[in-house]
Each structure stands twice: as structure tokens, then as C-alpha cells.
Amino acid sequence: MESAKDFFNNPDLSSTKCHYLTENYEQSLEWEKESVSSYSCGTVKDDEILARNIYSPHDYDKTTGKLNSLAFDNILNRGLSVLRFDDTGHDEVVNIGQGKKKATHEYHGYITVQTKSIRECFIDTKRAMAVYDTALAHLLIHADICSISVTTKGNKNLLRLFLRETFSELVSV
């Protein structure tokens, strides 16, 4: 088996890495304890706050002012991209979010969660998610939340519901 850094830096696996992690549950838990990026500032700690930028129409319904269930879909395949808020703060999260908006989607702000809350989610007696330090050369505060044990349609829906209820309300900009 390849190393955690090799796995997480393999572009061929970028859109399906959570599938592999789910199939290799024990390995997924072990890899969470080590840095998986050459640009890492260290593993993600339980007390860290993570922020996820929110865009419409994919993540957010402007009409209702609510998050869509699609806001969390990436957790099942490529990983839910988040920012290590404690290492950056409000202004930088907003600058990053505004820098990624496109003509096809509008930036609305961000939601936050404590890492410990993610790690304490169990479905069918297994941890449902892991948080990996996936710092990038151009974004050192990047991390990913990946599903590591959820396989059935019903449990995938439970996971999305848990995330919608666990992340904070939208911090609008």
C-alpha cells in the first residue's frame, strides 16, 4: 500500500479518494494521524474550527436562505474541502471564497464546525468521517473531511443531515 502522502497527492484519485478510504477503514483512521501533505502545518486537531465556503446555486438556495443537501455531497467522493479557520480567520476565509466565485455561482459566506464534532459522528458503530490536513502549495490552510465508512443510501442521507445540523449557520458576507 502506498503512503498517505502518495495517496492524497495522486491526481488520479482526487475525485474518488473517499471511496477508497471507505473500503480501507482502518487505514483511513491511521492516515488521519499523520500529515498527508508536503505543505502541511500538522495534523488537524480536535479543537480546531473548520470553515466551508458556500456558493449558490449548488450549496445554497437564495430563495429559502437554506443550505442544499448538495452542499455536503463531496464528502462521499472527493472530500469536503474546508479551511483551518484558527490558522486564518474571517477575513482570509472570505477573501478565498470571493476569489473562487464564478459567473455561474455566487459567494454567500461560510459555515463552521469544530473538528471534534466531525470525529464524534458514528454510524453503525463506525466513525463516519475523518479529517485530513491536505494543505496545498497555494493554500496552506486547506483540509478535507472524508466519509470513511458510509456505504448505504440511507446512511449517506443520515450523514448529510448530520452535517447540515452540525455546521454553524451561514456567516453571510
Domain boundaries, the chain: 4-172
Question: Does pLDDT of 53 surpass 80?
Answer: yes
- Tell me the pLDDT band of 59, cut-offs 50, 70 and 90: very high
Q: Using one digit for the tens of pLDDT, what is the confidence trace for 108-143?
A: 999 999 999 999 999 999 999 999 999 999 999 999
- Tell me the pLDDT band of 101, cut-offs 50, 70 and 90: confident
Question: What is the rounded average pLDDT of the residues 138-161?
Answer: 95
pLDDT of the residue at 69: 75
**Residue percentage of the chain with pLDDT more than 70:** 99
How many angstroms separate the Cα of 109 from the Cα of each of 98, 148, 163? Answer: 9, 27, 17
Q: Using one digit for the tens of pLDDT, what is the confidence trace for 65-86?
A: 999 878 999 999 999 999 999 9
| Beta strand 122-123 pairing with 126-127 | antiparallel
Question: Does pLDDT of 1 surpass 70?
Answer: no
Q: Reading across the β-sheet that carries 106-114, which strands appear in turn? A: 129-133, 142-147, 80-84, 49-56, 106-114, 171-172
Rounded to whole angstroms, how far apart are CA atoms 81 and 98?
A: 15
